[in-house]
Amino acid sequence: TLLGIVCTDVAIEPASLHEILTKSVGTSFNSISIDGDTSTNDTVALLANGAATPSGVKPLSVAQQSEDLAAFQTVLTELTQELAQLVVRDGEGATKFVTIKVQSDTDYMTAKRAAVSIATSAILKCALYGKDANWGRILCAIGYTAGIMDSPETPAIATSQTPVIPNQTSVSFVPADGSAELKLLIRGEPEQVDEVRAKEVLEFEDLEILVKLNDTGDASKKSKYESVFWTCDFSHEYVTINGDYRT
């Protein structure tokens, strides 16, 4: 279960708080996964008592967009992202902290669905624990997301006009030490991966998986949408903890 309490001494109109909180949660707590299980109790509360706001200064309000509101939203989002990342770092049995970035030109939800699918793939998470640069499992996870999006049986989520196109999909590992990314797949074609280098990259606790869904080969062209999601690996310890956890 995720619980969170965030307190600030900024004055904020009660009617505006929910929108402010929801905006930050979308790119923080709602962008993490440890084991893919959504709890019965997840709750994050935002409390604002205005104790530091000078008299005469109006409470922040979403009805009056202001620089102050934007600045507070940025601070809140950064703080909630930091908290959310700490949760992933403490994932039961986790040995890796994995950032998944998926870029798409279609829409944000296409990128997010692919990111979620990668983040919840048990077989990929086991590969990461084993320090295996298994891009095939990444592609597999992206691929069945695309399949679901195309399915007539699930029209509610069939919003994307363009499904994932295999020969425009590229996958890289971005090392935590800032060194050059390790390209695993370029526009659907597998790279000759240097296994020694791959092992080096996977020795770091932190790893970034970068997926481009509409890679045209033009390095100067930036994708329109990017979803960032955080997850961890699966280890033996996860099974031990949850096999032992008793009522």
Partner 1 sequence: ADRSIPQSKQKYVPTSGSYPKGFLAGSSHAGVKASNTKYDDIALVVSEKPYAASAVFTRNLFKAAPVTVSKKFLDARKSDGFRAVVVNSGNANAVTGKVGLENAESMSRTTDELLGHSASEDARSLVMSTGVIGQRLPIDKIISAIPKAHAALGSTHDHWLQTAQAICTTDTFPKLVSRSFSLPSHPETTYSVAGFTKGAGMIHPNMA
- Active-site option among 1, 38, 40, 247: 1
Q: Measured from the CB of residue 69, what is the shortest distance to partner 1 in angstroms?
A: 9
CA dihedral 183, 189, 194, 198 (to 10 degrees): 50
Burial 43-62 (b: 16+ CB within 10 A, else e): ebebebeeeebeeeeebbbb
Judged by CB, which is closer to partner 1: 42, or 195? Answer: 42
155 binds partner 1 (CB under 8 A): no
Binding mask 2-31 for partner 1 (x = CB under 8 A): xxxxxxxxx-xxxx-xx-xxx--x---xx-
**Which H/E stretch holds residue 118?**
helix 108-119
Judged by CB, which is closer to partner 1: 30, or 227? Answer: 30
Site residues for partner 1, 60-79, by CB under 8 A, read 66-68, 71-72, 75-76, 78-79
Is 1 noted as a catalytic residue in this protein? yes
Contact 104, 114 (CB under 8 A): yes
Binding mask 193-232 for partner 1 (x = CB under 8 A): ----------------------------------------
Site residues for partner 1, 75-104, by CB under 8 A, read 75-76, 78-80, 82-84, 86-92
CA angle, 133 as apex, 132 and 136 as ends, to 5°? Answer: 110
114 binds partner 1 (CB under 8 A): no
Q: Measured from the CB of residue 149, what is the shortest distance to partner 1 in angstroms?
A: 18
181 binds partner 1 (CB under 8 A): no
Residue 143 tokens, joined: 């691929």
52 binds partner 1 (CB under 8 A): yes
* C-alpha distances out from residue 112 to 14, 39, 97, 200, Å: 30, 20, 18, 28
Q: How many CA atoms lie within 13 A of 164 on its CB side?
A: 30
Name the residues annotated as catalytic: 1
